[in-house]
Amino acid sequence: MGLTLAEYHRLTPLPRPGGVLYVKPGARGFRDPVYDLLQKTVEPYGQKALDLNPGVGWGSLPLEGKMAVERLETSRAAFRCLTASGLKARLALPWEAEEGAYDLVVLALPAGRGSRYVEASLVAAARALRMGGRAYLAGDKNKGFERYFKEARRLLGYGEVVRREGPYRVALLEKEREAPPLPPLWQAFQAHLLGQAFTFRHLPGVFSAGKVDPASLLLLEALKGEVGDLRGRSVLDLGAGYGALTLPLARLGGAVTAVEDDWASVLSLKASLRANGLRASVLHSDVDEALTEGEGFDIIVTNPPFHVGGAVILDVAQAFVEAAAARLRPGGGFFLVANPFLKYEPLLEARFGGFKTLLVREYKVLFAAKEGGKP
Are 153 and 59 in a shared domain?
A: yes
- Which CA distances in Å does 220 have to 134, 156, 208, 227? 48, 46, 16, 10
Residue-wise burial string across 116-145, b where 16 or more C-beta atoms lie within 10 A, e elsewhere: bbbbbbbbbbbbbbeeebbbbbbbbeebeb
> 127 and 219 in one domain?
no
Distance CA 181, CA 282 (A): 31
Query: In terms of domains, do 119 and 205 share one?
Result: no
> What are 36-78's pLDDT values in tens digits?
999 999 999 999 999 999 999 999 999 999 999 999 999 999 9
Domain membership of residue 343 as a residue range = 187-372
Question: pLDDT, tens digit, for every residue of 180-224?
Answer: 999 999 999 999 999 999 999 999 999 999 999 999 999 999 999
Cα 326 versus chain centre, distance = 22
Burial grade of 279 (CB within 10 A; 0-12, 13-18, 19 or more):
exposed
Distance of CA 218 to the CA centre of its chain: 22
In this predicted structure, the answer to whether residue 374 has a pLDDT above a threshold of 50 is no
* Residue 310: pLDDT over 80: no
pLDDT band at 317 (very low <50, low <70, confident <90, very high): confident
Residue 300: its pLDDT value, please? Answer: 98
> In the prediction, which pLDDT does 249 show?
97
Residue at which a domain ends, from 127, 148, 174: 174
Mean pLDDT of the region 119-140: 98
Domain count, the chain: 2
Q: Are residues 194 and 87 in the same domain?
A: no
Same domain, 227 and 108: no
pLDDT at 316: 85
> In CATH, what number is assigned to the domain containing residue 330?
3.40.50.150
User: C-alpha angle 14/20/22, rounded to 5°?
Assistant: 60
- 138-142, 249-253, 295-299, 317-321, range with the lowest pLDDT: 317-321
The pLDDT assigned to 311 comes to 42
Lowest mean per-residue pLDDT among 310-314, 328-332, 353-357? 310-314
Residues 238 and 165 in one domain: no
Q: Is residue 89 part of a domain?
A: yes
Q: Which of 124, 144, 174 is the last residue of a domain?
A: 174
pLDDT above 80: residue 305 = yes
Residue 375: pLDDT above 70? no
Q: Is residue 182 part of a domain?
A: no
21 and 169: one domain? yes
Minimum mean pLDDT among 21-30, 150-159, 308-317: which range? Answer: 308-317
Residue 88 has pLDDT above 50, yes or no: yes
- Pairing label, strands 102-108, 48-51: parallel
At 4, the pLDDT band (50, 70, 90 cuts) reads: confident
Instruction: Tell me the average pLDDT of the chain.
Output: 94
Q: Specify which residues 75 forms β-bridges with.
A: 262
Residue 256 lies in a domain: yes
37 & 151 share domain: yes
Q: Which of 141, 174, 207 is a domain's end point?
A: 174
pLDDT at residue 1, as a whole number: 55
Q: What is the mean pLDDT of residues 155-178?
A: 98
pTM: 0.95
Has residue 373 got a pLDDT over 70?
Answer: no
User: In terms of domains, do 263 and 337 share one?
Assistant: yes
**Residue 55 placed within a domain:** yes
pLDDT (0 to 100) of residue 314: 74
